[in-house]
Homo-oligomer: A and B are copies of this chain.
Amino acid sequence: MSGTTPLRVALLGCGVVGTQVALGILANPIDLAARVGAPIELAGIFVRTLDAERDPAIPRDLLTTDAESLIDDADVVVEVMGGIEPARTLILRALARGAAVVTANKALLAQGGPELFEAADAAGADLLYEAAVAGAIPIVRPIRESLAGDHVRRILGIVNGTTNFVLDKMATEGLDLDQAVKQAQEFGFAEADPTADVEGYDAAAKAAILASLAFHTRVALSDVAREGISAVTAEDVEWARTTGHVIKLLAVAEVLGPVDDGEISVRVHPALVPDTHPLATVRGAFNAVFVEAEGAGPLMFYGQGAGGRPTASAVLGDVVSVARRRLTGGKGLRESKDQRFPVLPPAAAVTRFQVRLAIADRPGVLAQVATVVADHGVSIDTVRQTSSHREDSSGTATLAITTHAAREASLTAAVDAVAGLEPVHEIISVLRVEGA
């Protein structure tokens, strides 16, 4: 059951996360050994260059530029380099040699997950990735193991801390998008080039991983419909507030139709979330994943989605799990090879929408717009008309239409038709409504 032969861990990468993983292993040898049942030894750290500036607590003699030798001598390989290559090749090498692999690499998993999971399966090796989605928050293990006897119906995730920080700043301080992004950069929450966050690419990678996991279906990054927050205005955020909503960038993965025989929709987009929904309370750069399962009902997992120490915590949890299994034999739950659910194209997704229009402020326009919307098979839930109260009688009113659940294709056609009406001056915004 336990032994004294140390389990050798090879660490690939020594950036923000890698440094904390290394320090976590070096600082807690007794705790880790107690959890695993054998000593854990940090065999070495692969770095691209030896002379970069590093935390002085990282022993220099552990650094190596020879990844292959390091991997070939390891029981557990931890990949925290990020990027596609050489991470992919090194992970495949580790798996082929039968080493267990722990990775935090969401981009690689979203793009090349099937290849990696097949390699792990062929080698009978573990491949864990708790840190790849929502940082410190245990979400991969709960979905994969705790809900293994249940059916997930829907996941709504705030999985990108940068955009949540930005939207929260817009909501609480009335900033516009550019100002809020600048603040996020000053706080270190956003990169100099914030595109991957702001345009939803990062969230889309996590959506693909979560959907694959929850629905036992291989969902590729290209299956994920993606819309970032760059079109969200201060006015949208303020309008949302006055109607009892907050705007959040959500990763959505859901089954349409029977929970065991439907189709799945996977998408990332800004959405209106009611104030009363647990996700609405997620502030700043925090992440949260809301899961609706048939048996369990609603669940939410909340915490820090990024940062060196939080991410390292998730990585170390996986290291203990795989080391433990390596020592005692046995395998974790395998990635499913089912292709249970067909993935719907974006236009087939079904959501509620809120469409805001600037219209001529005169009688009859509301009825005209409502008729066109209904003609496209979209059912209206509520309509709210706000007059601009301008002095001149040819003023503009704002019309906010909230629909019942509608297919995206129908809604798009309805909006196009509405935009063509003479008294409609402008489509101000089209936002989905989730969690209502």
Residues of chain A whose beta carbon lies under 8 Å from any beta carbon of chain B: 1, 20, 24, 28, 31-32, 34-35, 37, 124, 130, 136-138, 141-142, 145-151, 216, 260, 278, 281, 293-304, 307, 309-310, 312-317, 319-321, 324-325, 328-334, 336, 338
Contact in complex: A295, B320 (CB < 8 Å): no
Known: A138-B142, A142-B141, A314-B296. A328 touches B328 (CB 8 A): no
Contact in complex: A147, B34 (CB < 8 Å): no
Q: Give, as a whole number of angstroms, the nearest-CB distance from A202 to chain B.
A: 20
Known: A34-B336, A329-B329. A20 touches B295 (CB 8 A): yes
Contact in complex: B28, A149 (CB < 8 Å): yes
Q: Give, as a whole number of angstroms, the nearest-CB distance from A129 to chain B.
A: 12
Specify which chain B residues have a CB less than 8 angstroms from the CB of A296 in the assembled complex. 136-137, 303-304, 309-310, 313-314
| C-alpha spacing A296/B37, complex, angstroms | 23
The chain B residue sitting closest to A299, CB to CB, is: B303
Given contacts A136-B295, A149-B317, A298-B302, 7 further A-B contacts (CB under 8 A): A136-B293, A136-B299, A295-B309, A296-B309, A299-B301, A299-B303, A328-B329
Q: Give, as a whole number of angstroms, the nearest-CB distance from A105 to chain B.
A: 18
Contact in complex: A136, B324 (CB < 8 Å): no
The chain B residue sitting closest to A291, CB to CB, is: B303
Specify which chain B residues have a CB less than 8 angstroms from the CB of A300 in the assembled complex. 300-303
Specify which chain B residues have a CB less than 8 angstroms from the CB of A151 in the assembled complex. 28, 31
Q: Give, as a whole number of angstroms, the nearest-CB distance from A317 to chain B.
A: 4
| C-alpha spacing A231/B146, complex, angstroms | 37
Known: A281-B278, A328-B331. A148 touches B299 (CB 8 A): no
Specify which chain B residues have a CB less than 8 angstroms from the CB of A333 in the assembled complex. 35, 320-321, 324
| C-alpha spacing A145/B318, complex, angstroms | 8
Known: A136-B297, A302-B300, A310-B297. A148 touches B278 (CB 8 A): no
| C-alpha spacing A278/B35, complex, angstroms | 30
Specify which chain B residues have a CB less than 8 angstroms from the CB of A130 in the assembled complex. 146
Specify which chain B residues have a CB less than 8 angstroms from the CB of A312 in the assembled complex. 295
Report the copy number of this chain in the oligomer: 2
Q: Give, as a whole number of angstroms, the nearest-CB distance from A104 to chain B.
A: 13
Contact in complex: A278, B302 (CB < 8 Å): yes
Known: A141-B145, A281-B281, A317-B145. A304 touches B310 (CB 8 A): no
Chosen A-B contacts, 26 in total, with CB atoms closer than 8 Å, are A1-B334, A24-B149, A24-B295, A28-B149, A28-B260, A32-B149, A35-B149, A37-B334, A136-B296, A141-B146, A145-B321, A146-B317, A147-B317, A148-B316, A148-B317, A149-B316, A295-B310, A295-B316, A296-B303, A300-B302, A300-B303, A301-B301, A302-B302, A320-B333, A329-B330, A330-B330
Q: Give, as a whole number of angstroms, the nearest-CB distance from A181 to chain B.
A: 24
Q: Give, as a whole number of angstroms, the nearest-CB distance from A24 to chain B.
A: 6
Q: Give, as a whole number of angstroms, the nearest-CB distance from A280 to chain B.
A: 9
Contact in complex: A138, B321 (CB < 8 Å): no
| C-alpha spacing A316/B150, complex, angstroms | 7
Specify which chain B residues have a CB less than 8 angstroms from the CB of A147 in the assembled complex. 138, 313, 317
| C-alpha spacing A199/B335, complex, angstroms | 45
| C-alpha spacing A384/B24, complex, angstroms | 45
Contact in complex: A35, B148 (CB < 8 Å): yes
Q: Give, as a whole number of angstroms, the nearest-CB distance from A320 to chain B.
A: 4
Specify which chain B residues have a CB less than 8 angstroms from the CB of A307 in the assembled complex. 297
The chain B residue sitting closest to A141, CB to CB, is: B146
| C-alpha spacing A387/B141, complex, angstroms | 54
Specify which chain B residues have a CB less than 8 angstroms from the CB of A297 in the assembled complex. 136, 303-304, 307, 309-310
